[in-house]
Structure 1
């Protein structure tokens, strides 16, 4: 292994374009461009070595993450996501700090990479190698409205079946924050800001007042409401009134800001949707039926 590692290091770090010697000024090349399959194989082999050597993994995992962020090879991004999932099982503590970077692949331009990332992270979450904390849950929400029907189906199953049983309070606890995050709203003086950069917060939002953006956000809200128990629907109704409507009335939510207006509009639409009042409506109908029978 000691003789193979330096060779692999040379291969995987050759992705940076370096001016060739004895070539025209300004010309540059890289192994990634000249032999992409060989370059990808170098990363795969290094990944296997890292799984067998913890010290090597500690040194090279940051390089895997950097390559995941900068490479334009979809096949390599896909393979690195697979390797990062393996690392997470083998070296959970080493990967924990990079999970948010891995979640960026949920928005990868390549459908295969998005789907692979969703499936692997879902498995890690189910096996408790990764926790539903921070921005992870909120980033997963966008998969519910992914362009790919396959990914939407996977997301529907995850949120509607697995999470509903495994983490029944997650939708309720994160609902109001989701309204702000999906609108990329920072216009609430009392709203807790995340540690994300503004670029990332915009990336993982569905900001906009156009019909398509509003419809996509509403689809996510409805999906979350469907996971909630009746008492949590009522509590969510109350939280929306106290944390958004009251905040707008008290001046804590800046409704002159476009994103603040979107949050307010979304809130009115949520409060008026059938999913948030379905249980109470059903109870009222049952009560009315009983009264008719008694009468």
Structure 2
């Protein structure tokens, strides 16, 4: 086989780097993790499979929080949102004097063309996470991405404004267009992840929910019971956070997106409709003190669902293989 073949070189690099990482000869400095993650969605199937098996196998076993501790950062890095503090913090991982750290040069997963690969990368990570890690991921996405978008001083807030808005046009002219687009894609990807069933507590790696019997079949009765209780507790925690924290953020963000006629409104509504469909009673109870907002929300969701049905063939984006 031609050893100069790009795929062969990539596979040799994956094997060599993983071996060095496992033996602690090198560390996850800079954006090395995200370069490894990008390899899991390489166009060459043999490269992507090797990278995924290595990353989610021995490397994850060595560092159990490897995926969960880098998930939110991955959304910023894969979208090349380099001006955001989260990206800069990720790029500076392990930084010290006289030691070069890995960058992200030469990897292009940002923009519309790279969306399918980005969603696949998120799926690879989520499908190898425990429920408690997913709870933490959702909490971070709500606070550090959606919540940040509501802050006027945040770089993500500009993405909430439409390019047709006069004020937004002035703001966009003053910055690099790529920065505006990357911030927009960060928010769009975040909504896709949150809407995805793979981000839910109780979702197994096979895609099924509520599979307690199958998941714990090989465990002792006591251990299995504890696992079931833990799963139910995490589900309650997840639901409580969703209703009490995320829904208010979404309502505020919806107002901002509507006033600016932002294209992100569709992504938000897809997520909000999903929440309302699953937890209608809880959402109504939360908004009971603001009946006008509840009525407006119900009307908007009915209109949105009606519009979605009138435009068949456009499937909702999900963070899983497509």
Q: How does the TM-score come out when normalised to structure 2?
A: 0.50
Q: Which residue is 2:14 aligned to?
A: 118
1:262 aligns with 2:158: no
Q: What is the CA–CA distance in structure 2 between the aligned matches of 1:189 and 1:154, rounded to whole Å?
A: 31
What do residues 117-174 of structure 1 show as CA deviations (whole Å, max 9, x unaligned)?
1111111111111112321111111110112111111112112221231111111111
With over 3 angstroms needed to count, the CA separation of the structure-2 counterparts of 1:277 and 1:190, relative to structure 1, is: closer
Unaligned regions of 5+ residues in structure 1, if any? 1-73, 79-108, 291-295
Structure 2 portions without partners, runs of 5+: 96-102, 162-179, 214-227, 233-322
Q: Going by fraction, where is helix more abundant, 1 or 2?
A: 1
Q: State the partner residue of 2:58.
A: 162
Q: Is the 8 A contact 2:41 2:121 kept in 1?
A: yes
Deviation of 1:274 after TM superposition, in Å, equals 1.1
Question: How far apart in 1 are the matches of 2:200 and 2:31?
Answer: 28
Find the aligned partners of 1:156 and 1:128 in 2 and give their Cα distance.
20
Match 2:202 to one of 271, 275, 279: 279
Q: Which has the higher contact order (CA 8 A, sep 6+)?
A: 2
Task: Give the match's secondary structure for 1:239.
Answer: helix
Alignment correspondent of 1:209: 112
* Matching of residue 132 in structure 1 with residue 28 in structure 2: yes
Residue by residue, what CA displacement relative to the aligned partner does 1:251-271 show, whole Å, maximum 9, x if unpaired?
311315111000000000000
Distance (Å, rounded) in 1 between the aligned partners of 2:86 and 2:60:
29
1:284 positional shift: 9.9
User: Any conservation in 2 of the 1:168–1:228 contact (CA below 8 Å)?
Assistant: no
What's 1:232 paired with? 133
TM-score by length of 1: 0.54
CA RMSD of aligned residues (A): 3.0
- Residue 183 of structure 2: SS of its match in structure 1? helix
Contact between 1:187 and 1:260, CA under 8 Å: does it hold in 2?
no
**Which whole-Å deviations, capped at 9, do the CAs of 1:199-239 have from their partners, x for residues lacking one?**
x54523411123xx111001111111122211110000010
Tell me the matched-pair count: 179
Residues 174/205 of structure 1: CA separation in 2 closer, same or farther (3 Å cut): farther
Secondary structure in 1 matching 2:35: helix
